[in-house]
Structure 1
Amino acid sequence: MPEEQTDATESVTPYTPARRRRSLAEQTPPIALGPLDGRYRAAVAPLVDHLSEAALNRERVHVEVEWLVHLAAHRVLPGAPTLSGEEVAYLRDVVLDFDAHTVAELSATERITVHDVKAVEYLLKERLAAAPALLGGDTVLPQVTELVHFGCTSEDVNNLAYALMVQGAVRDVWLPAATALVDDLAAMAREHAAVPMLARTHGQPATPTTLGKELAVLAHRLRRQLRRVARAEYLGKLNGATGTYGAHLAAVPGADWPGISRSFVEHLGLTWNPLTTQIESHDWQAELYADVARFNRVLHNLATDVWTYISLGYFAQVRGQGTVGSSTMPHKVNPIRFENAEANLELSCALLDSLGSTLVTSRLQRDLTDSTTQRNIGPAFGHSLLAIDNVRKGLAGLDADPAAMERDLDANWEVLGEAVQSAMRAAGVAGVPGMEEPYERLKELTRGRRITGEDLRAFVLGLGLPDDVAQRLAAMTPASYTGAAADLVRYLDA
């Protein structure tokens, strides 16, 4: 008799650690919670200058400094002293020198104020108080302390800061990266403009095209979205607690506060919004994020199409780029750049869609839903930027394989049925007899089965077409049946 089997689990002693694990949350320097500040930091680091919490505070300081300078330069408040060039430079240096020490100082102040914008106000007031020691005792900066944050609600500062942050992120980081990607794609389209390729509609063999023309379609779509993003308006307002200039007019009733507000907002390089509640309505943000999300979705289409071309063998992935295809299958080089891009584009779109739908709504004159929402602008652009980086590197690692495309074309002669039946229609219209039911006759010849070049030539030569037409069709191959595809690529330069 076989020896009695014992359940192995009965003899297993559960592992009990001798001591508790170290807390990763307490490590210094802090360990990132999300991948954008951890694994993928290098690809998205340029956005930190624009869309991080520190960048938000730096732009708040920038807005507060420029507002003070604007009020003084335009002599808005009677009796306020005029600032010298040296004093203006001193104030602007607070922004230029904003660093980790400033971030720590603001954090310490905010723990007391429990209000982020108030902490910025106090930071500037401290800098004004310190001015005599640095500029000399005759500076007037201590006298303008109460011009800091004059007439402002926190949202006056925040909306302008966010507009400047997003404007900088788009113009200085995202748009150049996206444009470089599309330029790379357009160059590939031109290089392969005349390389014939079997098209697939609904996944089935269809009228041949060229690799370059198909890449050009995607480049053209992406460029159109880039033009929309480049034309984006960045709106801002400075009009008080409920958008009425109430405090401004109470303090200085003779000033043209709407005019002062407009000149200040435009001085910052933004578009003035004259009608708001306590908040700037954020509609421009929703418009911009919709355009960026649309770019993302077209790029997602590119990623899935190129992935499919790789699986068909139309592209060979260049080895030697430091990639491991599979941990167990040495022959593989996986299209991971495009797969990672897909996932990051989906995350970016989800965040951008949420931003766009949430930010356009605020209860009555103000609620705080936009505060947390806007703090996720950085991740939304970060995932998009990471995807752009992945696709660009992925494209750089591809070599087209025209021979593989040629083999696919040569195995699908039935795609010439469209050309033959169209020529038969034209001949019938011209009065050539025997051209009835061209579609049906080609369907009978080609549908559901493979035909050879000899099959098609025999069919064509037996139709009774005019000799020149018959010879032209008989000489045609799937690789030559690409229409104007190669020439269409030139529209990328239009």
Structure 2
Amino acid sequence: MIHPTDYRYLVKDLEQYLSDEAFLQYKLEIEAAYIETLAEIGVCPKDVAEEIVKKANIKIVTPELVRKKEAKLKHDIRAMVSVLADNVSDKAKPFVHLGLTSYDVVNTAQALMLKDVTKKIILPSMIELEKKLIELAENHKDTIQIGRTHGQHAEPITFGFYLSGYVDRLGEAIEKIRKSSEELRGKVSGAVGTKAALKIIYESPEKIEKIMMDKLGLKPARISTQIVPPEYLADYLSQIIIAFSIIADLANDMRQLQRTEIAEVSEMFSQEQVGSSTMPQKRNPVSWENIVSQWKAVMPHIVSVYMDILSEHQRDLTNSASSRYYIPEIINAFVYSIKRTKKNMDNLVVNKERMLMNLKMTGMIAAEPLYIILAMSGHPNAHKYVKGLVSKSIEKNVSLLEMAKKDEKIQKLMENMPEEKIKKIRNIETYIGTAIKTTEKITKLWRTKLGL
């Protein structure tokens, strides 16, 4: 084994979709759907179609036989077709692959495979993660946490509000992946897209394509060359990478929150698990780091995806090797990371006490509400004045609230301010705006949309 996916990161459920054997079966399924279509319109005898359909599976057209044939022919689809033809009667042989070009089979099989893996593996895995994030956001909608910008303490939020941001982003990603998978296209248009070979076979080649695509549950490309326009695949994989980036962003945040000096969350650490070969005390955020690493490994593949939009004239072969790498690698790493994130969230430990302690760490978080209240009370340059108080607080190592209590100008301006607003300064953990309300709104929205 050469590739780490094979022995370390493989999602076993994906083998039935992404393996060479699985893709061969998908290609044979296309051949079967095509011959059934020819029989339906009267071009091919029904008994011939039944014979070809019966033999169009990998138990008969085995990967081993196809590889041996390809070694001689130097052409993968012609090798598959030859093995299939070798296993049918002389009466049936002329109808095998009749009027098709290789990428009628390859592009259509690829679209069907990606649509299947999206519906049966990717979307259910994403929805399971989304459900868990919703539960955590709801459970922690009022768990106070310090918000951070540029790595610095900013203003209070709640942990549930923070997670609801990811609930919304992941929910949008689910819908976009579903939509882009449904837009993947197949084709039966021949070597340059004109359907010339099909026109010899039957007077209405468009009817052949429509009947066949309906059988497969795919949309036909409105126009094609030897290949389906590559933008459909590029859009689909772009949405996968965007969704993966959201998960990597979450993983990176969780990793940062697990730092020794922050320690607001922690991941499961088994009794026998080792964090370092030399430092017994280490409990590293390895699961979160692995997810970020998975993303780093496959995210650059999107450049190859975009480069493969270029295909000279009616088609060249410059995408042949690249797509064999990036399709399975992107999808496997993505699904692996979804499942690992879900497991991490199932076992996430949230330290509420540490969150509250971090909130009060600097003693300066009241600066914004203080500035707003002063401005509303008529102070001509409240922002500058509070900024000066912050500097003095830091210099004297006292909290901003203590400095404000001793400041006569501030106390005078605040005399007529409603107690409800003054409370935002005295009890900074109440300064969370619409965090709880927004969390409830977002979680309810995605529970409804996804039927959770």
TM-score, length basis structure 1: 0.82
Give yes or no for contact 1:358–1:373 (8 Å, CA) kept in 2. no
Query: For the Cα contact (< 8 Å) 1:413–1:478, is it kept in 2?
Result: no
* Counterpart AA for 2:69: T
Quick one: which amino acid aligns to residue 323 of structure 2?
Answer: Q
CA shift at 1:251, angstroms? 4.2
Please state whether the residue corresponding to 1:247 is helix, strand or coil: helix
Structure 1 residue corresponding to 2:16, chosen from 49, 70, 73: 49
CA–CA distance in structure 1, aligned partners of residues 291 and 60 of structure 2: 32
1:67 equivalent in alignment to 2:34: yes
Gaps of 5+ in 1: 1-31, 130-141, 429-434
Shift of 1:321: 6.7
Equivalent residue in structure 2 for 1:375, among 324, 337, 358: 324
Q: Which amino acid aligns with 1:292?
A: I
Q: How many aligned positions are there? A: 433
Q: Is the 8 A contact 1:340 1:390 kept in 2?
A: no
Structure 2 distance, partners of 1:185, 1:321, is 26
Does 2:3 match 1:34?
yes
Corresponding position of 1:249: 199
Q: Deviations over 1:344-365 (max 9, x none)?
A: 111221123322x122110111
1:81 and 2:35 correspond? no
Separation (CA, whole Å) in 1 of partners of 2:99 and 2:60: 29
Asked if 1:469 is matched to 2:424, the reply is no
The offset of 1:124, in angstroms, is 2.4
Q: 1:299 aligns with which of 247, 261, 267?
A: 247
Select between 170-179 and 219-228 the one with higher mean Cα deviation: 170-179
**Aligned equivalent of 1:179:** 127
1:314 aligns with 2:264: yes
**In 2, Cα distance between the equivalents of 1:388 and 1:125?**
42
Structure having the higher Rg? 1
| In structure 2, C-alpha distance between the alignment counterparts of 1:327 and 1:161, rounded to whole Å | 47
- Structure 1 segment 482-493 matched on structure 2, within 5 A: 482-490=432-440, 491-493=442-444
> Is 1:443 aligned to residue 408 of structure 2?
no
Q: Cα 1:241–1:101, aligned 2, differ >3 Å: closer, same or farther?
A: closer
Corresponding position of 1:13: none
Shift of 1:127: 3.4
Alignment partner, residue 166 of structure 1? 114
Match of 1:157 among 93, 105, 111: 105
Q: CA deviation at 1:211?
A: 0.9
Aligned to 2:308: 359
Classify 1:156/1:102 alpha carbon distance in 2 versus 1 (closer, same or farther; 3 Å): same
Q: Do 1:225 and 1:294's aligned partners in 2 also have CA atoms closer than 8 Å?
A: yes
Question: Which structure 2 residue ranges, 5 or more long, are not aligned?
Answer: 446-452
Aligned residue type for 2:266: A
Q: Distance in 1 between matches of 2:252 and 2:217?
A: 39
* Aligned equivalent of 1:26: none
Deviations along 1:29-67, one digit per CA (max 9) or x if unpaired, are xxx1100011223xx222221122222211111100110
Q: Does 1:401 align with 2:351?
A: yes
> Cα offset for 1:397?
3.1
Quote the offset at 1:472 in angstroms.
4.3
Judge conservation of contact 1:337–1:393 (CA < 8 Å) in 2.
Answer: no
Sequence identity of aligned pairs in percent? 24
Given the superposition, is the C-alpha separation of residues 113 and 321 from structure 1 closer, same or farther in structure 2, using an over 3 Å criterion?
A: farther
1:119-198 matched pairs, under 5 angstroms? 119-129=79-89, 143-198=91-146
Residue 198 of structure 1 and its aligned partner are, at CA, apart by: 0.9
Aligned partner letter, 2:122: W
Counterpart contact for 2:213–2:220, Cα < 8 Å? yes
TM-score, with length taken from structure 2: 0.89
SS of 2:380's partner is: coil
The one-letter code sitting in structure 1 at the alignment partner of 2:65 is E
**Cα drift, residue 436 of structure 1:** 2.8
Q: CA deviation at 1:229?
A: 0.5
The partner residue of 2:208 within 260, 264, 282 is 260
